[in-house]
Amino acid sequence: MKAAYLLDGRVEVGDMADPSPAKGQVLVRTHRCGLCASDLHLCQHGPATVEWSRRYGGNFSIDLSRPLVMGHEYLAEIVDYGPGTERVLPIGSLITSQPAVTDEAGRKHTVGLDNDYPGGFGELMLLDQDKLVAVPSTRDSDLAALAEPIGVGLGYVRSSRVQPGDTPLVVGCGAIGLALIAALKIAGIAPIIAADFDERRRNLALASGADIVVDPREVSPYAPLARFDGRVPDIVFECVGTPGVLSEIILNVAASSRIVVIGWCLSADTIWSAAAHMKRLNIQFGGGTSPEAFQAAVDAILEGRIDPTPWLAPRIIGLSEVGASLAAMADPASPIRTLVDPRMA
């Protein structure tokens, strides 16, 4: 198969062996795959990320001296089933799934973060049959490739236990921040405040359902809201993941607030814990999505309750453009998501 793969810090395009499905696995052909900022992070900081994962039990179990086919947000077509596998969906069915697969020994692997289980930047992938989610063939089918980041947003809204009457602030309006805003909107939470330095992303936050957007260089997102009887944020979703952001939230948020940390800061960070103590803050960490949130994301996309269309780059790219498009994601003005079709050169 053809694939774009990371090797020794560079994204290359070439031929790789076709994967073969084992029992419980399904061979699929990728139609669309989203480029994610975590893929860019692995390109830029691969060795440090792999070392961190080795020390602390992360899921980046990767040999960077071997080709790695990334890509964990996808729409695909069933090509074949492994031996002894239930054929629940017909060959040719469109599907998406969480990026996970189980080998014959029962070990779990993350698709797109494992040298032996290529992701959606390749023509073919192996997935678990019991994680497949059927996608109807419509003009909006491509959007199902974004179920993974939207599922993360839905999952965090659920685990945060946010309720009507709370005043949420979303800090950072990348894909996860926008997904959170959309999830808060369909949960009936208001007002939703969003903060980002980039004007285009603030506009996308409004399109996703935010009631108020602010440039933190000009207006404090923690200040009382004149439009809403002087309310201040009491639950903050940190969606940036860079050093200093969590500390700034702790120092500025109101007493007795909750902070839900979603951005993965993969370098050392510091916080002023005394401020968190004095303010009686509740800080929650967590990661990923759940099967229930993933299914809910697919349903919300296909039913039109969440529309990620404004996130998308104006055109779909082929494998030869994956490296340059990933590098471009370092600029906040770049599209939130670019879709790649591995069947294109």
Report the distance separating Cα 98 and Cα 108, nearest Å. Answer: 12
Token pair recorded at residue 136: 């109807």
Question: Which pLDDT score, from 0 to 100, does residue 158 have?
Answer: 93
Predicted pLDDT of residue 139: 84
| pLDDT at site 268 | 83
Asked if residue 112 lies in contact with residue 97, where contact means CB atoms within 8 angstroms, the answer is no
> Peptide bond before 191: cis, by omega within 30 degrees of 0?
yes
**Residue whose pair of structure tokens reads 């229930």 in the numeric block:** 292
The pLDDT score that the predictor gives to residue 86 is 87
Domains assigned to the chain: 2-140+304-340 (3.90.180.10), 148-285 (3.40.50.720)
pLDDT at 46: 87
pTM higher than 0.75 for the full model? yes
pLDDT of residue 164: 93
Q: What is the pLDDT of residues 221-248, one digit of tens each?
A: 999 988 888 899 999 999 999 999 999 9
* SS3 readout for the chain: CEEEEEECCEEEEEECCCCCCCCCEEEEEEEEEECCHHHHHHHHHHHHHHHHHHHHCCCCCCCCCCCECCCCCEEEEEEEECCCCCCCCCCCCEEECCCEEECCCCCEEECCCCCCCCCCCECEEEEEHHHCEECCCCCCHHHHHHHHHHHHHHHHHHHHCCCECECEEEECCCHHHHHHHHHHHHCCCCCCEEECCCHHHHHHHHHHCCCEEECCCCCCCCCCEHHHCCECCCEEEECCCCCCHHHHHHHHCCCCCEEEECCCCCCCCCCCHHHHHHHCCEEEECCCCCHHHHHHHHHHHHCCCCCCHHHECCCCECHHHHHHHHHHCCCCCCCCECEECCCCC
Cα-to-chain-centroid distance, residue 244:
21
Q: What is the pLDDT of residue 150?
A: 96
For residue 267, the model assigns a pLDDT of 78
Q: Give pLDDT < 50 ranges for the chain.
A: none
Q: What number of other Cβ atoms are within 10 A of residue 80's Cβ?
A: 15
According to the model, what pLDDT value does residue 142 have? 95
